[in-house]
Amino acid sequence: MIQKRKTSFGLALLCALFGSTGLGPAQAQEWVFLPPAPLFKTLIGAPREPYTGITAYGNQTRFEGAVGATFEFLRYTPPDQTQWGWGVFGDGFILLDENGATFPMRGGDWQAGMYLSEATGPFSHRLEFEHQSSHLGDSLQGVQAPLFFSRENFNLTSSFQPFDELRLYAGIGDWENIYPQGEDPFFCSLGTEIYSPAMEPLGTFLRAYGTADLQWKGEAGGSLNKNFELGFQWKFRKEGSRDLRLALLYYNGNSDFGQFYQQPDEHWGFGLYFDP
C-alpha cells in the first residue's frame, strides 16, 4: 500500500512538472530560449531601427551604411496566451561622401540597448532602454569642431496590425541623460506600413510595400522628421522576420546623425536593406 501511494504521488508530481513547463499535453505555459525571431517586428519605415543596409542619395553624392541586429534571449507565453520577449539590440550608422575613388567618412552613430516586449493578438508593445553616441568622421577633422554627443533614453512603442496588409504604430520617449545639455529631451513618433497582396515565386514570399514614419524631436528647437519609402520586401518564408528590401525613399527634417542634429537634411535615394 505504501509503495502504491509513493508511485501515485510520483506520477502526479511528474504530470504537474510537465504541465507547468509546457512539455505535456496540458500545456499551461511555455519558455523558449533564443527564439529565431524577435517578438516585436522591426519597424521597417523607421530610419533608426536595427537593420543592415546601404542607402545611396539621389540628389547628392552621399551614402549611408548601417549594420544592426536584434538578439532575443527569452520568450515566455503564460497561461493567458500573451507573449513576452526579452533581448538586446545594437547598430551602427555611418555617413559617407564621395571623393573620386574614395568615400571619406563624415560621421558615425552607435546605438545599443535592451528591451522588453509583449504581444496579444494584433497588438504588440516594446519598452527599450537605449544608449546613443555620435562621432565626427575623419574627413571633417580640423574642419568642424566635434560635439560631445552621448545620451540614454527610455522609449515605448505600440503597434497594431489587424491584418497582414496593414500595420500602425506610435511611440513616445524621453532622454533621461542628454549631452549636449539644455536640449528638450522629449520625442515621439507615428507611422504606418502598408503591403500589397503577396506573390510566391519559387516558394518564397514577395510583396510591395509603402511606409510613412513621422518623428517629433524636442531638441534643436523642435523638428518633425519625415521618412517615406516605396519598395519591395522579399522573404524566404512568410512567417520569418528576416527579409531583403529594395526601396525608394524620401527624408525631410533635421539630420538623424548626432554630429549634425541641428542641421536640416532633405534627400531622396535608393536603399538595399536586410532586416533581422
The per-residue DSSP string of 149-165 comes to EEEEEEEEEEEEEEETT
Q: What is the pLDDT of residues 95-124, one digit of tens each?
A: 999 887 888 999 999 999 999 999 999 999
Q: Is residue 56 included in any domain, yes or no?
A: yes
Q: How many alpha carbons fall within 13 Å on the CB side of residue 198?
A: 17
Q: Is residue 22 included in any domain, yes or no?
A: no
Please check the confidence at residue 44 and state whether its pLDDT lies above 70.
Answer: yes
For residue 114, give its domain range: 32-275
Cα distance between residue 231 and residue 212, in whole Å: 12
Q: Which helix (H) or strand (E) holds 233?
A: strand 223-235
Do 169 and 157 contact (CB within 8 A), yes or no? yes
Q: Is residue 20 included in any domain, yes or no?
A: no
Q: Is residue 9 included in any domain, yes or no?
A: no
Q: Is residue 6 included in any domain, yes or no?
A: no
- One-letter amino acid at 176 equals E
* Total domains present in the chain: 1
Q: Is residue 13 included in any domain, yes or no?
A: no
Q: Is residue 156 included in any domain, yes or no?
A: yes
Q: What is the pLDDT of residues 135-149, one digit of tens each?
A: 999 899 888 999 999
Sign of CA dihedral 254, 255, 256, 257: negative
CATH code, 111: 2.40.230.10
Percent of the chain with pLDDT over 90: 81
Cα distance between residue 272 and residue 276, in whole Å: 14
Q: What is the pLDDT of residues 172-224, one digit of tens each?
A: 999 999 999 999 999 999 999 999 999 999 899 999 999 999 999 999 999 99
What average pLDDT is seen over the chain?
A: 90
Helix (H, G, I), strand (E, B) or coil at 146: coil
Q: What is the pTM of this model?
A: 0.86
Q: Is residue 16 included in any domain, yes or no?
A: no
- In this prediction, residues 151-162 reach a mean pLDDT of 98
C-alpha torsion 138→98→45→155, nearest 10: 10
**Measured CA angle at 231 (ends 195, 107), to 5 deg:** 125
Q: Enter the C-alpha cell of residue 55.
A: 542607402
Percent of the chain with pLDDT over 70: 90
